[in-house]
Structure 1
Amino acid sequence: HEFYSWGGDNDINMSMRSNVRPLGRGHRLALVDDFIFWVRWTDGMKKMIDSYTDNIESLADNENYKLLAGGLEELDTATAFFSAESQSQSHIKEVYKDMLEEPSNERQQLFTEEVERQVRLKPYQALATGAGIDEKGYYLAIALLNPSEELARENATLLEQRINQSKIAMAWHSQSGDKWSDFIESMEIESKGRLTLARLYGAVVECWVNFNVMGIMGPYEPLLIHE
C-alpha cells in the first residue's frame, strides 16, 4: 500500500503550523480500504499497514487489549487512552520520588497526600479511559481490567469510595484541593466479568487524559492508584 509522507519523523516546523498541526509536524497519511491511517513517523505507518494486512501481530491479537477495547466500546467513548503501566503506590512513589520527598508548591503537596490516601484500589492489570456523550451529557469513562471477577466487583466499590474521598491535585482545569465529586453530576459504576466499568458525568470528562503515569497527555492524577 502506498502512503503520503511529508516532513521528517516527528519533526517540528513552526513555519508549517495549522489548526490540524499546531507544531507543524510532518505526518504520514494512508487510505487503506475504508480506513484512514495517520501517524507522525514512517515506521509507524508501515507497521499499521502490516498489522491491518495481518503480516504482523497487532493489539487486536492481545487478549487483555481486546477485553479493555470491548469495555470502552460498551461505554461508547469518542476518545481512548490505554495503559498497562502499573499504577501501584510503590511504582508511583518511584516515578515521582523527588517531588514526593520535597514538594515545592501547594499542588505538589496535595499530590503527595493523595498518593498516601488510605483507600486504594486492588491491583488490576491494565486500564483504559475515554470521553463520551449520551442523552445525560458528557462523561468520563473508565475501564479497569482485573485478574478476576471478584476483584472487578471489589474495585467497583473501592472506585466509588475513592471518587467520593479523593481530591484533584494536578489537573490544569481545577483548583488545587477540589474534590473529584465537585466535578461529577452523577456516576454509574459496575463490574462485568473481569472489567470494572464507570461513567462519570459532568466537567470531569476533561480528565480522561490525566491517567498517564508519565504525564505525557496531561498532568497525572493518582485517582486510580492501587495497592
Structure 2
Amino acid sequence: MFGTAKEKHSWRFTAAAPPREVFAVMEQLIGTPPYRFQVVGDDEARALEVQRRGFFGNWGRPRIAVRWISCRADPGPSGTRVEVKASSGGGLVFKALGKADGGPDSRALQLVRLLTSGNRDQRTLYRRRSIPPGPVSLVASWAGMPYRLFAEPRFDAPRGIEILTATELEAVPGGEGPFVRVRLRDGTEGFVESDQIVAAPDVATREAQADAARFV
C-alpha cells in the first residue's frame, strides 16, 4: 500500500449517543465491504478501503489513493463531540477512467445523518427518550453486570455506587440531556444514561405495561 487518499470533507457536531455507541454504529453502518472498520485509538476509528474493483471487474487490494472515513468521538458537557472526515473518491485520472468513487462521502453522510437526526427521529434507537418520574430498572442487557452511577449529568463525571438490574431505582426530577437522575432505596442519588434504563411499573397490569411502553 503506497498511500491513502487526501481528505476531502469533514463534519463536526454534538451527538446524544455516548462514544462507545458512536463507534458501534460506525462499525455496523459503514465498516462493511469493500471497507473494513479499524480502531485507531481510544477516541478514534476509521473505515479503510480494503478491496477495489479493477479495470476488468476483478476485485483486488488497493495500493494507491486508498479511500477512508475517520471518526473521532470525545465526551463533552452537553453530549459527545464528533468529528467525521472523508477522503476523496478519486482524482482526475480515476474520473477519466470512470473509476471515481463516491463511497467515502456517501458512507460518511450515512453516519452523520444517523447521529445528528437520531435523537429526533422516533424510528431510531438514538431517539430522545423521556423517562417519567417513578420506578425504573436497568435494561436486561445489564443482567449479571454492575452499572456505576454517574456523579453528575456528563459522560466525563466521576462514577459512584454500583447498581444491578435487581436494584430498586426511582427516577426523580433533576435529569439533564441524555441523563436521568435516580434515587436508590437508601436515598443515594446519581445519574444514569437514559438509554440504559426503562420504566418499571409497580403493578403487573396490561394498562400499566402499555403506559410504560410509551417510554421505551
Q: TM class, shorter-chain normalised? A: under 0.3
* TM-score, normalisation: structure 1: 0.24
* TM-score, normalisation: structure 2: 0.25
